[in-house]
C-alpha cells in the first residue's frame, strides 16, 4: 500500500532513475539519469538544504523554532525556505541586487526575510562575496541564528541513495543550470575512463533540466 508522506519535506529525494538509451555509446557504460527536478522546488538544492538543517537539529546547533541564516543568490534560499517553513524555523537570507530580481521576489513571496547587500553596478565581485559572508556572520552574532554557511558546511554534499541493483562501479554526474550558465561535474564514486567524463561534462544541457546521472560500468 502506498504510504502518504507526512509533509512536503518527505518528498525530498527518492527521485526516479531513467536509463538514457539514445545517447549512450554502443557497448559503453550504462547511463542512468536521476531526475532531481522531482524534488519539491525542482532542484537538487532541496537535498542540501534538508541535510544541513537536519544535521544541525541532530547535534543541537539548531533548536526547535530557532532561526536560520544564509547568504545566497536564490536557489539555496528557496530550498532552505521549504525546509525551514515545515520545521517552523524563521529564515534570514543575505542576498544582493547582483542576482536576478525574480529570485529575490521568489524568496520574498515565500516569506524569507531578505537583507539586500548592494553590488557594484549589478556585478558579482570578490568583494561582494566577502560582504555577503560578513553580513551573514553579523546576523548570526546578533540573533543567535544557525548559519548554514553552505560553502563550508560538510553536510551540503549529502549523498544520493541509489537503488540496490546498482552494485557495479559507479560515477555520479550532477548537472543543472546556474543562472545563464550550465553547471556540470563528475564525482568519482569509482574509476571510469576519462573520455566518457569529458563527453558528459561537455554535453549541451537542456535548459530546464535538473538531474543527476549515474554511470554504471
CB 99 within 8 A of CB 119: no
Helices (H), the chain: 45-59, 75-87, 101-110, 126-143, 194-201
CA dist., res. 82 & res. 191, Å (int)? 36
| Contact between residue 61 and residue 83 where contact means Cβ atoms under 8 Å apart | no
How large is the greatest C-alpha to C-alpha distance in the chain, in angstroms? 59
Tell me if residue 45 is catalytic. Answer: yes
Strands 181-187 and 68-71, how do they pair?
unpaired
Q: Judge whether 86 and 7 are in contact, CB under 8 Å.
A: yes
Catalytic residue among 22, 34, 45, 180: 45
- What is d(CA 211, CA 42) in angstroms, rounded to the nearest whole number? 9
3-state helix, strand, coil in the chain (%, to 5): 35, 25, 45
Q: SS3 of 93, please?
A: strand
Catalytic residues: 45
Amino acid at each position: 500500500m502506498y504510504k502518504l508522506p507526512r509533509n512536503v519535506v518527505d518528498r525530498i529525494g527518492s527521485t526516479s532513475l531513467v536509463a538514457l538509451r539514445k545517447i549512450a555509446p554502443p557497448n559503453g557504460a550504462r547511463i542512468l539519469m536521476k531526475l532531481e527536478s522531482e524534488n519539491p522546488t525542482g532542484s537538487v538544492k532541496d537535498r542540501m538544504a534538508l541535510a544541513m538543517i537536519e544535521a544541525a537539529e541532530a547535534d543541537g546547533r539548531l533548536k526547535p523554532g530557532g532561526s536560520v541564516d544564509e547568504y545566497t543568490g536564490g536557489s539555496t534560499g528557496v530550498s532552505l525556505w521549504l525546509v525551514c517553513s515545515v520545521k517552523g524555523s524563521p529564515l534570514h537570507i543575505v542576498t544582493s541586487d547582483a542576482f536576478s530580481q525574480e529570485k529575490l521576489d521568489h524568496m520574498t513571496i515565500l516569506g524569507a526575510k531578505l537583507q539586500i547587500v548592494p553590488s557594484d553596478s549589478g556585478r558579482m565581485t570578490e568583494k561582494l562575496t566577502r560582504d555577503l559572508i560578513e553580513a551573514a556572520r553579523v546576523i548570526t552574532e546578533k540573533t543567535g541564528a544557525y548559519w548554514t554557511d553552505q560553502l563550508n558546511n560538510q553536510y551540503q554534499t549529502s549523498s544520493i541513495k541509489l537503488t540496490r541493483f546498482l552494485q557495479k562501479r559507479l560515477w555520479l554526474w550532477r548537472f543543472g543550470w546556474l543562472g545563464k550558465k550550465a553547471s556540470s561535474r563528475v564525482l568519482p564514486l569509482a574509476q571510469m575512463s576519462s573520455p566518457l567524463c569529458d563527453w558528459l561534462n561537455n554535453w549541451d544541457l537542456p535548459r530546464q533540466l535538473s538531474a543527476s546521472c549515474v554511470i554504471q560500468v
